[in-house]
Amino acid sequence: MATRLLLILAIFGASPAWCEIYRWTDADGRVHFGDRPQGASAEQVPVREAPPLPAQSPALSGERQQQEHQRLIDALREEREAREQKRRQAEEREARRAQHCAHARNRLQRYRRGRLYQPQEDGGRRYLNDLERQQELARADAEVERWCRP
């Protein structure tokens, strides 16, 4: 019992309200503060107590806690769905790119193998000259470059 009383007195005895603070100016004009007066010009400074801390907010009620939990679950679900949608879109883009790449490679191989021609309205063929063939090969090569490079 005496130990408790001593502990309580020590706690309350250390309160700044019980202390005396003094302020004085030295010969160089600097202001000093201390718990003991230094010289005749020392004056006591009133000590104000700090305002009490605001009361802690009570713990979330069960219903409010459930709402916060549900909000967190919903946010995580939306985030996961957005990631899944981005992943699916990326897979679709990659599949389209791979399909275009395969088509462009096949076209380039066909152009390199034989003579190129353009079909005519009457069912005949007009064969391309060397300059036209080189232009078509360059276009096909550019398509391969466009679709087959990552």
pLDDT in tens, 87-98: 999 999 999 999
| Beta strands, E only, the chain | 21-25, 31-34, 43-45, 117-119, 125-127
Q: What is the CA radius of gyration of the chain?
A: 44
pLDDT in tens, 50-102: 777 666 555 557 888 889 999 999 999 999 999 999 999 999 999 999 999 99
- Find where tokens 């791979």 sit: 98
Q: What pTM does this model have?
A: 0.47
CB of 68 within 8 A of CB of 60? yes
